[in-house]
Amino acid sequence: MNKLSLVSFVLLMATVFSCKSDINQNEKDKFKTSSIESKVDSLMRLMTLEEKIGQTVMYSGGWSVTGPVVSSDNLKYIKEGNVGAMLNVYSVKGTRDLQKIAVEQTRLGIPLLFGYDVIHGFKTIFPINLGLAASWDLKDIEKGSRIAATEASAEGIHWTFAPMVDIARDPRWGRISEGAGEDVYLGSEITKAYVKGFQGNDLSKHNTILACAKHFVGYGAAQAGRDYHTVNMGMDELRNVYLPPFKAAVDSGVETFMTAFNEINGVPATGNKFIFRDILRDEWGFNGFVVTDYTAINEMVEHGFAENEKHATELAIKAGIDQDMMSSANRLYLKELVDEGKVDVALINEACRRILLTKYKLGLFDDPYKYCDEQREKETIYKPEFLEAARKSAAMSSVLLKNEERTLPLNKNQTIALIGPLVKDKENIIGNWAGAGDRNGKAISVYQGIQEYLKDSKILFAKGCEIEGEDRKGFAKAINMAKKADKIVMVLGEDYDMSGEAASRTDIKLPGVQTELIKAIRSAVPNKKIILVLMNGRPLDLSEEDTLADAILETWFPGTSGGFGIADVLFGMYNPSGKLPVTFPRNIGQIPIYYNMKNTGRPIPSDNPKEDYKSNYIDVPNTPLYPFGYGLSYTTFEYSKIKLSSETISFSDILTASVTITNTGDYDGHEVVQCYIHDKVGSITRPVKELKGFQKIFLKKGESKTISFEISAKDLEFYNNQKFTVEPGIFEIAIKGTSDFDFVASFKLE
């Protein structure tokens, strides 16, 4: 134990035992060596009901130019021992000052927990989560969240409110940017990678932080993509689509859960006993703690589910919610509810116990200042290797949507016109929910990235227009630059705050006059290659752009080193390997559109998709513009016919499915090999395709590799009639580089 932790331990124990002067040395020694469970029990025996309730209360600090600020009311509550956790307070100094109050000035000296939204990086910002998902690179996602945890913990943070594991199939919803997209399997695998990265193997280490699976549950299914909106969903969809990533979080040891803002089937998540007690606790055995989303207890009044805030407090604790983020509800009403006999004190003990156990696991009782080391803070933030890792992630997250006549990669001998409002941008490029990342500070713009490859004399620049607004005054200069250049790279997209929380859109086209700018350039230089580089937080309707640009590179918001990562892809230093984690529709009218839909009783015939009285549109095809799992490379990959180890398997067998993939193009490159199945007949209908596995491989040009997937009965199960079930029958199977294919092989389960 270092000096600091020894001092704080002695201090803590002195405070704990000072209230019971009759505790003898023997008992003190026993305390030191006992398990954390019995330490918590001993501590709780000393706590008043108010102090226990205090642990279930979280307040927010704020941030001013000089550092974190905490309101005088909140300071008072901390001193009274009525606060268990703080959010939005970071930096060694900021957290130490508050921790000192909690540890030294309260009766029992229980340390505070500091939480923060470390979503895709803390200072070094990685691509937005939807972009990270596009890499399909679980190791890289784990590494990025490990880096985020290292930086955040060096600034006093113990706990991130991440990952957001909500399945999202509606690009209107702004928070689609924050998740892993539309697929259950990919989303679940990515969830595990985040949790591992944030929490590491040992929570008591100073560079690991608690993860939080959010928002339980159904938040991504908000009606009409409007944030916080109503969710109605049958058990089939809830169990088979929206719950699995949360189950994956529990299985990977996530320590905390956050409630969703939405109601689900008429009951707000924060008061929903069925999802928190019945499923999360009883069925899944989760034993961490649950925090509400911001003011979500009080919002049950607006939902029309609670009569008043006191009633909402009662509903939340009864539903199994342990900590109240910002509602003040627990602080104001819990004791009264116990006194009136409406809430059993056992519920408060249970919540307090879970929170204290977590604090013990983090080692905060050994050393409440273990995350407060100025030297470490200075040495850790923006480490060169972190920035380098972010550069790689940016490249790996980019998805090449179109590349006619090998427009990309660029070569260094050409003059390139860089056009668009995001070319020199250092503010939007880090995206929404960008932790404590500096906007306009450390970020590398696309312009700077390209300067690493091209001499300044070969770069022409014109902004052309703003992201939003009607101003076309910059068009003339942009056209002029395009005329002088060999190729044109246009960097267009959304503003960073057009996605994220409370940022839903009913129009998912490029905002402002950006599409007009491409059109103007296209008609001024009809024979020159236009490369469109996109930054955006959601699938966009790119139907027009697809006809105007020769190449399209989707880079999402690529983060602090984004400009470098994008330039690496544009110049072929990194051969793009990203695949879409979410469907890009042709237009907004197709929403919801996702690859693993149901077949309907009138599916469209492939040879006549417009046939009358079939499930189609009269104005656009059913197909998306770019499907899930799709993404091009500078090279080409050929897939052999699929080989199955057997045509029939029993419930205890394992089927091996393999293909040989050959790099038939001119570049070395990565390919994401995807395995899909289709359960042809079920006691409830099954999706037309379901991803069941993927592997990211590297092939040198000319190289071949045989890739196998093992499928067991467990992979074929689904939820129906109150249980998971695997049903015998025929399953189609395919291994491809996209979800856009027709099955040709099948096997029988009997």
Min separation Cβ 268 and ligand BGC, Å: 14
Cα separation of 750 and 747, whole Å? 10
User: What totals of helices (H) and strands (E) does the chain contain, helices first?
Assistant: 23, 29
Q: Report the residue number, 117 or 679, with the smaller CB distance to ligand BGC.
A: 117
Backbone angles phi, psi at 419, to 5 degrees: -130, 140
Min separation Cβ 81 and ligand BGC, Å: 23
Q: Report the residue number, 294 or 639, with the smaller CB distance to ligand BGC.
A: 294
Q: Report the residue number, 39 or 214, with the smaller CB distance to ligand BGC.
A: 214
Structure token pair of residue 70: 């905490």
CA contacts within 13 A on the Cβ side of 400: 28
**96, 102, 103, 107: CA torsion to nearest 10:** 170
Q: Report the residue number, 143 or 214, with the smaller CB distance to ligand BGC.
A: 214
Calculate the alpha carbon distances from 453 to 169, 301, 365, 397 in Å: 38, 57, 52, 20
Contacts of 332 (CB under 8 A, 6+ apart): 309, 310, 313
Indicate if 293 belongs to the active site: yes
Backbone angles phi, psi at 657, to 5 degrees: -115, 130
Q: Which residue is nearest to ligand BGC (CB)?
A: 161
Q: Report the residue number, 129 or 560, with the smaller CB distance to ligand BGC.
A: 129
Min separation Cβ 327 and ligand BGC, Å: 12
Cα separation of 551 and 487, whole Å? 11
Q: Report the residue number, 136 or 496, with the smaller CB distance to ligand BGC.
A: 496
Report how far apart the first and last C-alpha atoms of the chain are (Å, whole number): 59
Tell me which of 137, 140, 166, 293 is the catalytic residue: 293
Min separation Cβ 747 and ligand BGC, Å: 42
Calculate the alpha carbon distances from 45 to 37, 58, 108, 349, 430 in Å: 12, 22, 11, 10, 47
Q: Report the residue number, 501 or 544, with the smaller CB distance to ligand BGC.
A: 501
**Cα 239–Cα 244–Cα 249 angle in degrees, nearest 5:** 145
Cα separation of 469 and 511, whole Å? 8
Q: Which residues bind ligand BGC (CB under 6 A)?
A: 87, 117, 161, 214, 293-294, 501
Cα separation of 107 and 12, whole Å? 10
| Pairing outcome for strands 690-699 and 669-679 | antiparallel
Q: State the alpha helices, DSSP H only, in 262-373.
A: 273, 299-303, 309-319, 329-339, 345-362
Q: Report the residue number, 85 or 410, with the smaller CB distance to ligand BGC.
A: 85
Min separation Cβ 258 and ligand BGC, Å: 6
Closest CA to 445 of 554, 558, 572: 558
Min separation Cβ 178 and ligand BGC, Å: 8
| Pairing outcome for strands 729-736 and 745-749 | antiparallel
Min separation Cβ 8 and ligand BGC, Å: 28
- Tell me 508's DSSP state: -
Min separation Cβ 161 and ligand BGC, Å: 3
Calculate the alpha carbon distances from 396 to 358, 392, 556, 733, 735 in Å: 35, 6, 11, 27, 22
Q: Is 123 exposed, middle or buried (0-12, 13-18, 19+ CB in 10 A)?
A: buried
Helix (H, G, I), strand (E, B) or coil at 748: strand
190-223 residues labelled b (16+ CB within 10 A) or e (exposed): bbbbbbbbbbbeebeebbbbbbbbbbbbbbbbbe
Helix (H, G, I), strand (E, B) or coil at 669: strand
Min separation Cβ 629 and ligand BGC, Å: 28
Min separation Cβ 294 and ligand BGC, Å: 4
Q: Report the residue number, 215 or 586, with the smaller CB distance to ligand BGC.
A: 215
Residue with tokens 């992201």: 467
Structure token pair of residue 415: 């003059």
Min separation Cβ 374 and ligand BGC, Å: 26
Q: Report the residue number, 178 or 550, with the smaller CB distance to ligand BGC.
A: 178
Cα separation of 626 and 624, whole Å? 5
Radius of gyration, CA atoms only, the chain: 27
Q: Report the residue number, 151 or 568, with the smaller CB distance to ligand BGC.
A: 151
Return the active site residues. 293
